[in-house]
């Protein structure tokens, strides 16, 4: 228990049977989203992060999480996590197939989806796993207007979200909580400039980074 007498949620692991599959497969992970809300979005949690507070109003499967049976290689990097806005840019049967697949997984079509490599999650220590999860959470940002004011949906009152690439906030947030990786430390020593360091931080085995940052 923590100092307010609450049980600290046990970190979820992917189910063992996902590793027995012969081909890459995917499994919804509602238990992982519940853990994320209890650990990072709950102000009474010992590791609560106010940087993610805009996500606390969203429920499963508005923001869905799933396990993937393995990562993939992109631009020479092995990707173990990815955050994305769910968009179906297709029509006809292709659109219907994609919508049916999401509905089978989640009961509806999510607004945002975080995918985590189950094999990485199984092997990673708690610090590495938490750093990856928070890294992906930082990509689902609170949308700002041209003056930098957070925007809200007029009908629902919920924060407007967007996928955002790496920025200084993400860099300092992850490094503040989990420390700089060896790659980041080398960049700090070589460049001594935060923008250069934040560019180094994009190589965190994250598929979203490759889509959002050149």
Domain contains 59: yes
Of the candidates 166, 168, 197, the residue with the CA atom closest to the CA atom of residue 183:
197
Tell me how many domains the chain contains: 1
- Report yes or no on 162 lying in a domain: yes
Distances (CA, A) of 26 to 35, 69, 117, 200: 19, 6, 9, 30
Q: Is residue 201 part of a domain?
A: yes
Tell me if 156 is assigned to some domain: yes
61 within domain boundaries: yes
Please tell me the predicted confidence (pLDDT) of residue 20: 85
**Is the pLDDT confidence value at 122 over 80?**
yes
Which stretch of 2-11, 64-73, 186-195 has the lowest confidence by average pLDDT?
186-195
Q: Look at residue 207 and tell me whether its pLDDT is greater than 70.
A: no
Query: In terms of pTM, does the model score above 0.85?
Result: no
Domain membership of residue 6 (yes or no) is no
Token couple for 25: 């497969």
Range among 101-105, 128-132, 187-191 rated most confident: 101-105
62: in domain: yes
pLDDT of residue 180: 64
Query: At a CB cut-off of 8 Å and minimum separation 6, what does 65 contact?
Result: 28, 29, 30, 32, 33, 36, 113, 114, 115, 116
pLDDT band at 186 (very low <50, low <70, confident <90, very high): low
Q: Is the pLDDT of residue 8 over 90?
A: no
23 vs 76 pLDDT, higher one: 76
* CB contact set of 140 (below 8 Å; sequence gap of 6+): 55, 63, 83, 112, 114, 161, 162, 163, 164
What is the pLDDT, as a whole number, of residue 182?
Answer: 63
115, part of any domain? yes
70 closest CA partner among 110, 34, 105, 122: 122
State which residues form the domain around 77. Answer: 16-212
């Amino acid at each position: 228990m923590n100092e307010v007498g609450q049980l600290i949620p046990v970190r979820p692991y992917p189910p063992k049977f996902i590793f027995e599959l012969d081909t890459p497969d995917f499994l919804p992970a509602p238990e992982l989203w519940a853990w994320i809300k209890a650990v990072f979005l709950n102000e009474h949690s010992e590791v609560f992060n106010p940087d993610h507070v805009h996500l606390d109003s969203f429920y499963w499967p508005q923001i869905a999480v799933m396990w993937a049976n393995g990562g993939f290689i992109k631009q020479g990097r092995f990707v173990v996590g990815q955050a994305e806005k769910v968009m179906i840019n297709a029509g006809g049967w292709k659109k219907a197939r994609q919508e049916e697949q999401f509905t089978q997984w989640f009961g509806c079509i999510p607004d945002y989806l975080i995918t985590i490599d189950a094999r990485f999650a199984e092997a990673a220590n708690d610090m590495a796993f938490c750093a990856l999860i928070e890294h992906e959470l930082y990509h689902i940002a609170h949308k700002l207007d041209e003056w930098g004011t957070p925007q809200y949906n007029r009908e629902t009152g919920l924060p407007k979200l967007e996928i955002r690439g790496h920025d200084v906030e993400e860099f300092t947030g992850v490094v503040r909580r989990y420390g700089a990786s060896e790659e980041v430390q080398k960049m700090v020593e070589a460049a001594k400039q935060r923008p250069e360091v934040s560019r180094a931080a994009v190589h965190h085995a994250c598929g979203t980074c490759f889509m959002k940052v050149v």
